[in-house]
Each structure stands twice: as C-alpha cells, then as structure tokens.
Amino acid sequence: MNFRQIEAFRSVIVNGTVSRAAELMGVTQPAVSRSISELEVRVGFALFDRVKGRLVPTPEAQAFFRDVDASFVGLDRLRASAARIRDFGSGNVRVASLAALGSTLLPRAVRIFRAKFPSSTVTLNVMSSSAVRNHVADGEFDLGLAADEVDLTGVDHQVFGSFPGVCAIPPGHPLAKLNVITPGDLDGVDYIALSPEDRARLRLTQACDEAGSNPRLVAETPNSATVCALALEGVGVGVVNPLSTDGFAERGLVFRALQPAVQFKSYLLFRPDVQKARIVRAFVAALLEARNTRPALI
C-alpha cells in the first residue's frame, strides 16, 4: 500500500462521498476509486459496501480507519512542527538561569521575545549556577545564565555582563544616610552574605580585608533577592546583584552604590558543539535588550 491509497480511503470516510474526496484531493473520481480498489487488494478485505448508491465502510474498514486516522494526526503534528521550524527555529527555547536573574531580568526578556515571536514558547527553569552549567552541558537546555564561579569547561560561553553590586540597606539604618558606601563603612555592621563560593562575596571580603573592615556576619544565602528580602526585614545590610532588586525599592529598601565597586559577572552558556538555532539567537537578543533597558536603581 502507498500513501495515496491511504489518503483516498481516509478522505472518502471523512467526507462521505468519492466526489467530495476527489475534489479535496485535487484528483478525478475514477482516480479515487482506483486507489481504493488497489488498497483493498493490498489489505485483503473489502473496505466499502455500496448501499442505496452510497459507499458505506465495512466493519473491517472502520477498524482499519482508527489506525489510519491516528497516523494522519501524527502527520499533522509533523507538518505543524515543520512549519514552526521553517518559520522560526524549533518553536521552543529552553532556558536555565541562576536565581539572581531568573525572577527579574529573565521575565522581561521573555516578554520582549514573546512580543516579537508570539508563536514561540519558552521553558524557563531557575537553579544554581553549577546546575545550570551541568544541564546545559548535558543538552537538557539550549541556553543558560550562570555566575562567574561556574566551571566553563565543556560548554560554549560568552560574557553576558559585569554589573557593579549595590548595598541593600534596611530603611532607617544609619548607612542609609550616606550617598556612597565604602568597605570601611561596613565595619561592625550586621552583614547578610552570599554563599561562600560566590565570587562577588569573595571580592567584597578582599576589599573589606584591605580596608581593615570586619562586617558581622548574621546570615548567608545564595540568592541576591533573598538578601534584599532579609535586609527589608531589618536583619542586616547586604551587597547584591543590581539585576535582582526589582520591586524592593518600592517597598522601602534603600540602595546605595559601593566604592570601590564589587562586580557581579555572569555568563551565557550554550550546548557544546551545537550550532545555535535562530530561536536561541533571538532569545539572546531579547536578553541583551532586557539587560540594556533595565531601569536605573540609584
């Protein structure tokens, strides 16, 4: 049997008559009848009975039709998939991100991307930078955003940005009266730190050591947004990634520049040895636009 014979059989059942099936297939009625006759020879049983001038599917044909129709549903999905790939990549981009960007910059990038490509979808997962790296390296995600402490071996990568950290200060705190915070100002101050392996934390520790400053550690967390939440509750002062601060200033948290600056550096990670699909390149462009158009914090 061949596809044309199967198509003719399905079309007659779906449309009810040979004439309508021929019209939709763009062929003659004899051609449809011939295809059905040839298919009956191939399958070894009658497909239609003629009752009062109409073709009526036999019980065997009805049973056969269930599998035929399921196959055509699969073909329709393949056609839709091919259309998405033709029109724009695979139609779905899978992104993994560190927490500092996953709840702030990434949603803005998704909005920008979807405005330009509404037929595409985004799968977004937030996890640690090391997990981002591993999942991208294993091919489970098309694109990753990770902090600079991540191991870059085994993945393609490029610098996404380097952003000067800001001090998150509880409202009413004495440091809120200052326009700029220095490491010396943090001496003896209750301090909310990022994780010990965080490169920005290590840079701040070095700056404080050089200034002879000793902040009093009261809490630590891997997430800059959690540092902001703790500072808003008055737990202490923290130095955070400016991209993770959305909404906290409106709730009363005070932000001040830190001098000298402590940089938060992040990377874009890509699956190794895989050419970037157009949809991935387009999402990277949306990320860069979101990064470049973020509102000023201080």
What is the total count of domains within the chain?
3
Beta bridge partners of 253: none
Tens digits of residue pLDDT in 94-114: 999 998 888 889 999 999 999
pLDDT recorded at residue 160: 95
Take residue 1 and report the two structure tokens written for it. Answer: 């049997």
Please identify which residue in the block is written with the tokens 């779905």.
Answer: 92
Mind listing the pLDDT tens digit for each residue in 172-189? 999 999 999 999 999 999
Given 56, 87, 118, the domain boundary residue is 87
Do 117 and 35 have their domain in common?
no
Same domain, 178 and 223: yes
- Report the CATH number at residue 33: 1.10.10.10
Residue 276 and residue 130 share a domain: yes
Q: Are residues 173 and 252 in the same domain?
A: yes
Does the residue 32 lie in any domain?
A: yes
Query: Could you list the pLDDT tens digit for every one of the 298 residues in the chain?
Result: 788 888 888 888 888 888 888 888 889 999 998 999 998 898 899 998 888 777 888 988 888 888 888 887 666 665 665 665 565 545 789 999 998 888 889 999 999 999 988 888 899 999 999 999 999 999 899 999 999 989 999 899 999 999 999 999 999 999 999 999 999 999 999 999 999 989 999 999 999 999 999 999 999 998 999 999 999 999 999 999 999 998 899 999 999 999 999 999 999 999 887 667 888 999 999 999 999 887 666 6
pLDDT at site 246 = 87
Asked if residues 205 and 195 have their Cβ atoms less than 8 Å apart, the reply is: no
The domain boundary, picked from 87, 102, 135, lies at 87
Residues 178 and 252 both lie in one domain: yes
pTM for this model (two decimals): 0.66
Distance from C-alpha of 108 to C-alpha of 292, rounded to nearest angstrom: 11
User: What is the CB neighbour count within 10 angstroms for residue 235?
Assistant: 16
Residue 239 belongs to domain spanning: 166-261
Please report the pLDDT score of residue 297 as a whole number: 67
Q: Does residue 297 sit within a domain?
A: no
